[in-house]
Amino acid sequence: MNLFFKVLPVLTIMLFSINSIAKDNGLPDWYDFNRDAVLDLNHAAKIADGKKILVIAGGEWCSWCHILNKFIHSNTEVSKLLYETFVVLKVNYSEENMNQEFFEKYPKIKGYPAFIILDSNKQYLASQDTSKLELGKSYSKDAMLSFLKKWN
């Protein structure tokens, strides 16, 4: 039997497991301009259980936001470490909802997507320009893992 058909079921289970970690926490895995970012942050803090909170600022209009999402969900090692380290909160920034009340508490964002790192008590720790993690037309696995290990 072809090795591909032996490995495929295992890979499928791993990917579904990682995606369920991201989605089963009550927070969206997309940028929803109808959501209240302050309420979502409060929820993230309640479920953080000692983890840090990674706010990913962006929008459905943002091509690099979609590239980042695809990159995260197609790299098992990155996804695993991401969700072990952080509660991930996607916060929309768009014409429909700029979430000014939310974003005014943090340093000005220069490009999207952008990372804002908070502790489990919602205290600001740092920001990360995701362009520093890019490689060609995607993201660098090594750079992303280095970023995640720094905060793990």
Q: Using the predicted structure, report yes or no on whether residue 46 has a pLDDT greater than 80.
A: yes
Q: Using the predicted structure, report yes or no on whether residue 25 has a pLDDT greater than 50.
A: yes
Q: What is the CATH code for 3-151?
A: 3.40.30.10
Instruction: Give the count of alpha carbons within 13 A of 35, CB side only.
Output: 21
pLDDT given at position 19: 43
Helix (H) or strand (E) holding 79: helix 76-85
Domain ranges for the chain, please list them.
Answer: 3-151
Tokens of 134: 């890019």
Centroid of chain to Cα 77: 14
**Residue 28: which pLDDT band, with cuts at 50, 70 and 90?**
confident
Tokens of 51: 């983890």
pLDDT given at position 137: 97
Give per-residue burial for 110-133: e unless 16+ CB within 10 Å, then b. Answer: eebbbbbbbebeeeeeebbebeeb
Model pTM score: 0.83
CA–CA separation, 78 and 69 (whole Å): 11
**19 or 71, greater pLDDT:** 71
